[in-house]
Structure 1
Amino acid sequence: MMKHIVCFKLKDNSDENKNKTKEVLLSMKGNVPMMRDIQVGVDFLKSPRSYDIILQVELDDEKALDAYQEDPYHVNVVKAHMHEVMESSIALDYYLD
C-alpha cells in the first residue's frame, strides 16, 4: 500500500472556497475506482506558512498511482477544479510499512 499526499494553497482561501474544494476532492470516493481510501483536511490555523487543504489517498502501488493520475473523473472533474482554484501545491508519495 502507498499514500499519495498533496497540499494545496488556494488563490482564495475563504472558508467557503476551502469547503467547496474539500467536497470536490471527496467526490472522488466511488468515482475513482483504484483508490483504497481518501481523506481531506482543511487548515484552521491560517498562518503564512500553512497550506489550505491536504489530500491523502491510499493506493495499492505505483501502477495504481499511474492509473489514478489518468482516471477520467480525476482529470476532468477534480484536476480541472484544482487547477482553477489553486495557487500552488506540493506532493509526497510513499509506501506504507
Structure 2
Amino acid sequence: MITHIVLFKLKDNSPQSVEETANVLRAMEGQIEELKSIEVGLDVLHSERSYDIALITKFDSMEALEAYQVHPLHKKVIEHMAKAREASVSVDYES
C-alpha cells in the first residue's frame, strides 16, 4: 500500500475558501478507481507554521498512484489547487 499525503497552504484561508477547496478534494471520493481511501482534514490550530488542509490518500501500488496522478478528475483538482494554493508539501511512503 502507498500512502500519499499533501499539505496545502491556501492564498485565501478564510473558512469559506478552505471549505470550498476541501470539497473539491472530497469530490474525488468514489470517482477514481485507483484511489482506495481519501481523508481531507482541516487545520484546527491555525498556528504560524500550520497548513490549511491535509489530503491523505491510499493506493494499492505505485502504479495505482501514477494512474491517479494522470486521471482526468485529478487533473481538474490540480487546476483548482494551482489557483488556490500558496504552497504545498507532500510525502509518499509504503504503509
CA RMSD of aligned residues (A): 0.6
Q: Does 2:65 match 1:65?
A: yes
Q: Does 2:25 match 1:8?
A: no
What 5-or-longer segments of structure 1 have no aligned partner? none
TM-score, L = length of structure 1: 0.95
Counterpart Cα distance in 1 of 2:80 and 2:31: 15
Counterpart Cα distance in 2 of 1:38 and 1:85: 20
- Matched length: 95
Alignment match, 2:47: 47
SS of aligned partner of 1:31? coil
Q: Aligned-pair distance for 1:23?
A: 0.5
Q: Aligned-pair distance for 1:30?
A: 1.7
Q: Which runs of at least 4 in structure 1 moved beyond 3 Å after TM superposition?
A: none
Alignment match, 1:88: 87
Q: Does 2:21 match 1:21?
A: yes
Q: % of aligned pairs identical? A: 45
Alignment match, 1:75: 75
